[in-house]
Chain A
Amino acid sequence: MKAGSVRKTSGNKLTAIMQVHNEADRYLEQVLRELSEFVDDIVIVDDASTDGTAKLCRSFAKVNTLVTLEESRFHEEWELRQFLWNLAGLTGPDWILSVDADELYEAKAKAHMRELIDQDRYDWVAFRFYDFWGGTTHYREDEHWCIHKRHTRSLVRYMPDFYAFYPKMAHHVPRLPLSYAVLPGFLAELRVKHYGWAVPKEQLQAKYRRYMEMDPEGVWGSLSQYRSILDEHPHLIEWKEEPT
């Protein structure tokens, strides 16, 4: 470690950040339990949940900051993202891991997490995210569901002086500031399980309706992808855990 440097090669504090909304009956508990194994702190913005989300969050010791909004800000998602980022900054993190309430890092990723952050060569890490479909045994892979074919940046070095820019978008705002794209990063061949679609058929239909209500013209996302949610026979591939 070099005195005064904005980058440390040891002793980095890893803070997970999450924005949640009515997640008590989904994967939030598992996500928080697993996060608690490998992060130092968890900072959460509860976007006006009406179920037991806040209570569940508070039950985890590593959740050191929880702010519950009285009114949902999801219709201005960039504000929510910016607020969460600023809130996390107040807790003095060295690295920030942006996690959704339905994302789980595979065991191998968790095992390598300290190596990924205790270095001074790159300032962000991207992982491969897999969309699980209809359950937690298979992920989907086809024209519209192939996010795992590229990397998604979810871990960044926190540098308070670096301008954190979120585009002022209502929806589909990047989970972390766009500014990190100018810094060197590392594309890790490590995987993240996304359980957002690992739900029964009725819930998939409900999600489809929600997307269409929110974005009927396909301004923020692709209409054909929204429609593909209802595919009767999606192409699914069995998930295989890798040794750590």
Chain B
Amino acid sequence: MKYLVFNPTVNSGFPCPFFLERLPGPKEIIHVDTEVLASLSTLNAADYTVIAASPYWIQTVLAFQPAAIFYWMEKCPDGEDTTLWNQYAGLFAAHSRLVFTDSEQMYLEQCLLRDAVFWVDSFPAAGPEEMKLRLENEQLLERMLAAQEQGETLEPWTIRQWESRERYYTDLSSKLGPHETASYLAASYRYFLKRPEALEALTVSFEQMLLKDHHACLHSHVRFFSALELQHGRLDKAVRLFDITAFTEEERRTAAKLYAWLHSGRTDWVRAELYHVNEDIRSAIHVLEPLSDPEARAGLLPLYSRAHRWHEALALLDAGTAPPDGMSAEVLRGTLHLIHNRRREAIQVLLRASIPDWNVLSHLNGMIALEQAAQAIAAGEERMA
């Protein structure tokens, strides 16, 4: 397989060289520089998998239409526009076959949004036990990449990584004794694995938070308890636990809606909404997608939006589903044109949409900002430290 690597700038290296070494062979890895960029149109895109390490490459990469995209996700660097970075990182991830990151926090966040996310352990191993884990992770990475190349489903490898991380935090908890973070992470991986033992770990974490006077855990812990009850089919309790955490007007409206659905037997709706309010967008989408009624399509809109699956959101809007507050079909359409490097269409759509709603003009500013950032990395300008 041939790989084109779009580094953070054309003059910088890939954030994790170790990752490139694990790509299945025989392989040809080309780091994109100004010369390659200039000749990109002469390459047969279907022969290439793109590995992109900055959201600002999105227009170039999507216009190239490679066989597959791997997106290397990083936190927004200091000095960059966070909104811009996160929006295009999300869109890039949504267009990618696989998302990789060496930040475990980002990994967990992405696992709640989409399938096929992989955590790459890039930190030097401190001892034999860490070396063992590192090797295990390397093997998983190699096998997942090989499965991807063979066109196989990636789910078993996602699960294997969750199992590996769960074992790690369970071992760590037994070494450290009760610990709020280790237990919380063990609970998180058990949640992904749908294991009832998540409750035990979350309880330990909650107790430790309380004993250490960390009281800001209503959402992180009590709402997580609600998600665990939901996952194991105890919907009544899940709704009541969510209600305990509901204090804003919006949260209270959501709680009232959940009770009403519960009483009318609309359990799929209860499940989808509870996953949604617990930030588990991926599970909420999995619940609603098989439903065919118009309300389910309306429910999917904010979820697709949050997961940056804007093509799917736009398809629903174009099919007549009413947009929720703050969502505009034309903004989605314009942005999708933009990331596919159809600049003229993007401007036309956004200008037309700005006639009834002048706020849309602000998206033109966003468009200019993306283009400037894209030009900067193509020219090799280092990001601000």
Contacts and interface: CB of A to CB of B under 8 A. Distances in A.
Interface residues of B, number: 27
Q: How many A residues are at the interface, by size bracket? A: 10 to 19
A77 to B, nearest CB: 16
Interface string A142-169: 0000000000000000010111010100
Interface string B212-244: 010111100110010000000000010111011
Nearest to B221: A182
B24 to A, nearest CB: 47
Interface stretch (A1-9, A27-35, A127-135, A199-207): A1-9
A179 interface: yes
A5 B243 contact: yes
Given A5-B259, A163-B225, A182 B215 contact: yes
Given A163-B206, A163-B225, A182-B218, A6 B211 contact: no
Contacts of A4: 239, 243, 256, 259, 262-263
Contacts of A181: 210, 213, 215
A178 B210 contact: yes
B225 A159 contact: no
Contacts of B213: 181
A161 B240 contact: yes
A61 interface: no
Contacts of A182: 209-210, 215-218, 221-222
A90 interface: no
A193 to B, nearest CB: 28
B201 to A, nearest CB: 13
A183 interface: yes
Interface in A1-60: 2-7
Given A163-B203, A163-B225, A3 B210 contact: no
Given A167-B211, A182-B222, A6 B203 contact: no
B33 interface: no
Contact of A179 (B206, B237, B241, B256): B206
B207 interface: yes
B123 interface: no
B243 A165 contact: no
Contacts of B256: 2, 4-5
B255 A5 contact: yes
Interface in B89-128: none
Given A4-B259, A4-B262, 17 more contacts: A4-B243, A4-B256, A5-B255, A5-B259, A6-B240, A6-B244, A7-B243, A159-B240, A161-B237, A161-B244, A162-B222, A165-B206, A165-B210, A167-B207, A167-B210, A181-B210, A181-B215
Interface of A: 2-7, 121, 159, 161-163, 165, 167, 178-179, 181-184
5 closest A-B pairs by CB: A4-B259, A178-B210, A181-B215, A6-B243, A161-B240
Interface of B: 203, 206-207, 209-211, 213, 215-218, 221-222, 225, 237, 239-241, 243-244, 247, 252, 255-256, 259, 262-263
